[in-house]
Amino acid sequence: MKEIINLPVSKIEEEEYHINMGPQHPSTHGVLRLVVSLQGEMVKSLKPHCGYIHRGIEKMCEKDTYPQLIHLTDRIDYLSAHINNHAVCLLVEKALEIEVPERVKYIRTIMDELARIQSHQLWWSSFGMDLGGLTCFFYGLRDREMILDIWEETTGSRFLQSYNCPGGVMQDLHPNFQKRVHAFIKTFKKKIKDYDRILSGNVIFEQRSQGVGMLSKEDAISYGVTGPSGRGSGWSCDIRKNEPYSMYGQVQFNEVLRYGCDTYSRYMVRMQEMHESMNIIEQLIDNIPAGDYSAKMKAVIKLPAGEYYQKVESARGELGLYVVSDGNKTPYRMKFRTPSFSNLSVLDHISRGMKIADLVAIGASLDLVIPDIDR
């Protein structure tokens, strides 16, 4: 010890030390454990430890029938619950070659876009809160309550509705639906300008996010980072444009791309996506055709033997469902290719050389939902 005290400062070697952003942490958005290896305040590498919310959903799906496992898919990525249910229903309908009524396609697309907007609102709230701006939390969640009211009136539940079922939806729209959606869009278009004034144009926010967490396009493709995080690096990966499903082939909307490759680009992609979602809803809401809200299905759904794959665009990226069926009423093997799992794998690569405070901003810009990683 005496030898160390007598050395001049420049000769004392900086040692690497590990800190644990443990499973219980306000900024990890759930139970993710990161063991960060630091030199001073610079991140040298990090290792994520997952599994703290691994519930074994893939094994449980092998014992549930197709309508039953829709309730489990809700809980995988609870912020895009509609979109997850939609994927299962599309897969079953494709395998059985069932054509759903037009009304169902309109309803499902509108509900999907509402889910996307409320997921981005929650993301914006927690992003601002992580960087220290607690006002964002209250503004975002206040506006999100309007969407939850719309859902509660039609489906009966604020959150985790399990509204889709193979062949259609569980019950018809409430008569007030159109009025409420119009009111929401009118209000939200004014409120979203506040979001830009608080955070997007803020000089502290810009300095904390521009140039932070650079992810090149080749890396995004190689690591499989899809969704708004990939589109912030210029990779055009929107499933709604590349392989359209439901009504997405027939509405006009732009795919939002940015080429900055940093946290600020990923942020701006999501802000612009909220505008695009409102455009899609406006094109569809006044033209919902009358008709059945569900096609006639048999009581027991058995998929023919074979393998099926269905892709949808959830709020986080590309969600893929891979089903191996042997002709029974339960799947033989069901695999969820979740977007947050691949997005997490790039966190190590893009945080090297950044400070520990930037790590929080990078993690928030990738928009990870931890049960989506662990299933």
Partner 1 sequence: MGIKNIKEKDFQDNETLELFRKTGSGILMTTIDAVIDWGRSNSVWPLTFATSCCGIEMMATGASRHDFARFGIEVYRASPRQADVIVVAGTIVNKMAPVLKRLYDQMSEPRYVIAMGACAVSGGPFYYNSYHVVRGVDQVIPVDVYIPGCPPRPEALLYGVMQLQRKIKLETITRPEESMIMGRK
Partner 2 sequence: MDNETLKARILSIVPDAQTEENKQYLTLVVPAAELHNLAEKLKNTQELSFDFLFCLSGVDYGKQLAVVYHLNSTTHKHAVVLKVKTDDRVNPAFDTVCDIWRTADFHERETYDMFGIRFNNHPDLRRIFLDEEWKGYPLRKDYVDEVNIVEF
User: Segment 277-316, which members bind partner 2 (CB under 8 A)?
Assistant: 306-309, 311
Q: Is 285 in the site for partner 1 (CB under 8 A)?
A: no
Q: Is 254 in the site for partner 2 (CB under 8 A)?
A: no
Least Cβ distance, residue 56 to partner 1 (angstroms): 5
Least Cβ distance, residue 334 to partner 1 (angstroms): 13
From CA 358, how far away is CA 232, in angstroms rounded? 18
Sequence letter at residue 124: W
Q: Which of 51, 249, 289, 353 binds partner 2 (CB under 8 A)?
A: 51
29: left (phi over 0), alpha (psi -120 to 50) or beta: left
How buried is residue 151: exposed, middle or buried, by Cβ count under 10 Å (0-12/13-18/19+)?
A: buried
Q: Is 374 in the site for partner 2 (CB under 8 A)?
A: yes
Beta bridge partner(s), residue 46 = 36
Least Cβ distance, residue 154 to partner 1 (angstroms): 17
Q: Is 23 in the site for partner 1 (CB under 8 A)?
A: yes
Least Cβ distance, residue 315 to partner 1 (angstroms): 13
CB 254 within 8 A of CB 276: yes
CB 189 within 8 A of CB 112: no
Distances (CA, A) of 254 to 124, 273, 275, 358: 21, 9, 10, 31
From CA 319, how far away is CA 331, in angstroms rounded? 18
Distances (CA, A) of 303 to 23, 66, 246, 290, 325: 40, 9, 21, 29, 7
Nearer to partner 1, 162 or 246 (CB): 162
Q: Is 96 in the site for partner 1 (CB under 8 A)?
A: no
From CA 163, how far away is CA 81, in angstroms rounded? 9
Q: Is 20 in the site for partner 2 (CB under 8 A)?
A: no
Binding mask 36-55 for partner 1 (x = CB under 8 A): ---------------xxxxx
Q: Is 135 in the site for partner 2 (CB under 8 A)?
A: no
From CA 20, how far away is CA 15, in angstroms rounded? 16
- Among partner 2, partner 1, none, partner that 179 touches (CB below 5 to 8 angstroms by kind): none
Pairing of strands 42-49, 33-39: antiparallel
What is the radius of gyration, based on Cα positions, of the chain? 22
- Distance between start and end Cα atoms, the chain: 49
Distances (CA, A) of 59 to 31, 52, 74, 190: 21, 17, 16, 46
- Among partner 1, partner 2, none, partner that 288 touches (CB below 5 to 8 angstroms by kind): none
User: Segment 60-89, which members bind partner 2 (CB under 8 A)?
Assistant: 63
Nearer to partner 2, 113 or 374 (CB): 374
Least Cβ distance, residue 330 to partner 1 (angstroms): 11
- Among partner 2, partner 1, none, partner that 221 touches (CB below 5 to 8 angstroms by kind): partner 2
**172 SS3 class:** coil
Sequence letter at residue 358: D
From CA 126, how far away is CA 120, in angstroms rounded? 10
Q: Which of 135, 242, 250, 254 binds partner 2 (CB under 8 A)?
A: 242
Q: Which of 5, 9, 15, 24 binds partner 1 (CB under 8 A)?
A: 24
Q: Is 325 in the site for partner 2 (CB under 8 A)?
A: no
Which residues contact partner 1 by CB under 8 A?
22-26, 30-31, 51-57, 59-60, 63-64, 71-72, 75, 78-79, 122, 137-138, 141-142, 144-145, 148, 158-160, 370-371
Interacting residue ranges for partner 2, rule: CB under 8 A = 50-51, 54, 56, 58-59, 63, 219, 221-224, 235, 237, 242, 306-309, 311, 318, 320, 322, 324, 333, 335, 337, 341-342, 344-345, 349, 374
